[in-house]
Structure 1
Amino acid sequence: MESKEQQVNTSSPILMLGILSISFLMSVSNAVSGTIPLMKQYFSNISEANVELLVVIPTGGVLLGTVVSGLISNKLGKKYTVLLGLIVSLVFGVIPAFFYNYPAIFLSRAMFGVGMGIFTPLSVSYITDVFPEKIRNRLLGWRNSVGAIGDSIMLFIAGFLINISWHATYLVFLFLIVPIVLVSLFVPKRLDRVIVEDGKEVEEDTSIKPSTNGGVIQLAILFLFVCLFYSAISLKLASHMVDSHIGSAADATRIFGFLVLCSIISGIAFEQLAKWCGRYTVFIFEVLTAVVMIAMPFTNSIPILLVLVLVAGFCNGIINPALTARMVAYSPKGSMNLTTSIILIGINIGSLVAPYFFQALGGVLGKNDPGFMIMCAGVCYVILALYDAFVVKKDKLTI
């Protein structure tokens, strides 16, 4: 590839919109997590954990998609790889609306995750490659907000579709048409294999062999546990509300909508909050998450439960971009795609094992009702916060 010397307008809202739209679908479970109680009734001959697996099995597909994403990107370039992943997720995402048997839904959900695994790593590397450092943290926060906006819209639609049937809820993934159109129109193909330095396009140094290190692995493990414990809300909240006669599955779906809406606000506020909290940003918001999750099982009021969920969503919206920003500090030069893939593997292992983790934890503790599992996850967040306080001192992190 020839070296590029033309100026890049990194403040272009059109370019930002195109790249950020890749993150419209960041959650593989929230949009359809409200269907869990209804699917338990429909698949009454299948274990609870295996029904919950239908909601999180896309994370297994993401692992495969993440592995092949780099190979596909080398052949097709970033833009066409993103479009391929989005199209795969759209096609397989809507299949459960038309095929009702467990094996067909299981396979389609796995392939939905493969599509996500193909395009998601590029949602981060586009930001780190194309935008300068002074804009990067802002966009990482906005990326979380864009994902929350996408989740919020999909949950709003899902709240209506679930009243038709749990099958119809999966039509919500037709929303992926939006990022397909925006990426097609607003992300230039010429940015496939270039990086931007000082506002100018520079030829990507393909001679650097991607590598990793202990810092990246440590960060991936931290992401794994954050995702694992936070999954208690998406997996157990709806069942807790139904079992405790607090509300219906539709009520839970609407609460999930407020959850991601709150994440929009936190994503926008991230840059300023990170400046105020500095290296203890993750620690502070993990402690807050612990407090509200421990409190959730002790309320029978939907408004109070909503407030607690909003706080949890806000905290998660700060923790995720804060940990993502550490990728720049830990990643070896020329290895951001590999680093992102390793982090995604950690995240998706956390989501994939979550149903079985909580089932096993309930067995060990002799109590496995949904509210108790949410409380246990909150206690685990306390341990994560203490560990993070140790890490930021050891590695001298700035965030």
Structure 2
Amino acid sequence: MKLIALLSVALIVNSAPAISANNPAIIQSFPYVSPVYVGLLTTIPSLFLVIGVFLTSLIENRIGKKYTIITGLIIVGIFGTLPAWYQGSFFILFLSRCLLGLGIGLFNRLLIQMISSLYQKDTRNKAKALGLESACEGLGGIIMTISVGQLIKINWSISFIVYGFAIVSLIFVAIFIPNQRLNLVNTEEIDTQVSVSKERRTKSILLGFILFCIVLLFINYNLQITPLLIERSIGNATNGSNMIAAIAAGAFIAGNLFGVTYMYLKRWLLPIAAFIAGISIFLTNLSSSIIFILICSLILGFAFRNIMPYFMHTFTTGGEEVAKFGTTVVLVAYNLGATLAPYASQAISFFSSNTSASNQIIITGLLLCCIGFITLIFNKYMTV
């Protein structure tokens, strides 16, 4: 029941991109606001998630892990739904997205760390549990993105009500998760703590940079897929929302299979998944079929959600302190990449002298393929 309660929280972790299909409608509602800032509504939660990650230890020391998670869920429930009942100011809308990220950040590291600690001495089950966590992130993305896609037909603002799901997770945590404080760990936990060596820190940061680049490109696809469909007159915002849902569906499948996938591929998983992700993005631009693009999005989600738990599993093996440091590196790399994705889009447009969504998709796919080849060549360094 502890694992189920933690997995219910995981359903919310990947919820920020769910409203990306709203961007065209929000641009129309706030014509005086730069489209770059509207794009940041999807990614700015990731920056504040990083801030929340660093605040977690301070709050955890005072109120314990359980109530830190509950605090984060309350913030998500209140400020995530704020745009549904107040839309008069873009500043308030932007602020609500910042606080949404902060709330998720308060429980994101604890969520992964607590799931990892349940199976720290059982590598295989640990990989399965982290895969399930990733699967639930994908499932949450599916549910919220599809819900947003349907609610946007009524009004873009009402779609933000999906963040009210945080209350359901709060109930599960309140009932099934015991409270723990850092100064009340038992002897067995103390024995399993291992200090993080300088070599491991350096290597973790370098691998974190690779993850940062992958996420930067992955989120850029999320931002460009709806404009691509509209640009080529083959779909609308609802279709774009369905593409994001397909990514989440692929992520859900990958998470459920991760334990088996990792067992067979191990360190080869990263380059293979990065290359498949790049190819699936590149192929998106070659077809005018909604079904084909939907399949490409599904494959992209499958590939990407093998990459994330790969890093989580690699970085959290070795005790409490190692898991804490590794989780922090992964979350910072992921969320900085997600936050800066709109600026990556601008950089691609600047250097290619082409602002079309089609151009963005082609270059994003090729760059991911390049990362796949680089990680293949330096494969023996892809673990810590």
TM-score tier after normalising by the smaller chain length: over 0.9
Among 15, 18, 35, the alignment partner of 2:5 is 18
Contact kept, 8 Å, 1:70 with 1:337, in 2: the verdict is no
Aligned to 1:294: 282
Alpha-carbon offset, residue 211 of structure 1: 7.2
1:247 is paired with a residue of what secondary structure?
A: coil
Change (3 A) 1:243 1:274: same
Aligned to 2:114: 126
Aligned to 1:7: none
Aligned to 2:346: 359
Deviates more, 1:383-392 or 1:57-66: 383-392
1:316 and 2:304 matched? yes
Among 362, 373, 377, the alignment partner of 1:375 is 362
Contact kept, 8 Å, 1:194 with 1:204, in 2: the verdict is no
Determine the C-alpha separation between the residues in 2 that align with 1:295 and 1:267.
23
Contact kept, 8 Å, 2:215 with 2:338, in 1: the verdict is yes
Contact kept, 8 Å, 2:193 with 2:319, in 1: the verdict is no
Aligned to 2:157: 167
Determine the C-alpha separation between the residues in 1 that align with 2:9 and 2:225.
28
Change (3 A) 1:210 1:104: farther
Aligned to 2:22: 35
Aligned to 1:256: 244
Aligned to 2:333: 346
1:66 and 2:35 matched? no
Contact kept, 8 Å, 1:83 with 1:183, in 2: the verdict is yes
Letter in 2 for 1:167: S
Alpha-carbon offset, residue 302 of structure 1: 0.4
Alpha-carbon offset, residue 389 of structure 1: 2.2
Aligned to 2:295: 307
Correspondence list, 1:160-309, <5 A: 160-189=150-179, 202-204=188-190, 213-309=201-297
Aligned to 1:149: 139
1:139 and 2:129 matched? yes
RMSD (Å), alpha carbons? 2.2
Letter in 2 for 1:202: E
Determine the C-alpha separation between the residues in 1 that align with 2:336 and 2:212.
7
1:27-76 deviation digits (Å, cap 9, x = unpaired)? 24321011011112222222221110111111121121111111111111
Change (3 A) 1:194 1:374: farther
1:117 and 2:105 matched? yes
Change (3 A) 1:389 1:43: same
Letter in 1 for 2:230: V
Deviates more, 1:271-280 or 1:225-234: 271-280
Change (3 A) 1:190 1:68: closer
Deviates more, 1:148-157 or 1:169-178: 148-157
1:182-217 deviation digits (Å, cap 9, x = unpaired)? 111122225876779xxxx82446997777611221
Alpha-carbon offset, residue 242 of structure 1: 1.2
Contact kept, 8 Å, 1:220 with 1:344, in 2: the verdict is no
TM-score, normalised with respect to structure 2? 0.92
Determine the C-alpha separation between the residues in 2 that align with 1:187 and 1:222.
34
1:245-285 deviation digits (Å, cap 9, x = unpaired)? 11110111122222212211111111111222222111111
Give the gaps of 5 or more residues in structure 1.
1-13
Contact kept, 8 Å, 1:290 with 1:380, in 2: the verdict is yes
Alpha-carbon offset, residue 181 of structure 1: 1.1
Letter in 2 for 1:153: I
Letter in 1 for 2:147: I
Alpha-carbon offset, residue 383 of structure 1: 2.1
Alpha-carbon offset, residue 113 of structure 1: 0.6
Change (3 A) 1:327 1:393: same
Determine the C-alpha separation between the residues in 1 that align with 2:183 and 2:258.
29
Alpha-carbon offset, residue 305 of structure 1: 0.7
Contact kept, 8 Å, 2:17 with 2:43, in 1: the verdict is no
Correspondence list, 1:51-90, <5 A: 51-90=38-77
Among 84, 88, 95, the alignment partner of 2:82 is 95
Change (3 A) 1:193 1:182: farther
Letter in 2 for 1:74: N
Determine the C-alpha separation between the residues in 1 that align with 2:378 and 2:336.
22
2:188 is paired with a residue of what secondary structure?
A: strand
Contact kept, 8 Å, 2:15 with 2:141, in 1: the verdict is no
Name whichever structure is richer in helix by fraction: 2
Alpha-carbon offset, residue 358 of structure 1: 0.8
Alpha-carbon offset, residue 286 of structure 1: 1.0
Aligned length: 379
Determine the C-alpha separation between the residues in 2 that align with 1:275 and 1:210.
25
2:140 is paired with a residue of what secondary structure?
A: helix
1:134-185 deviation digits (Å, cap 9, x = unpaired)? 3100001111111111111112221221111111111110111121111111
Letter in 2 for 1:102: F
TM-score, normalised with respect to structure 1? 0.89
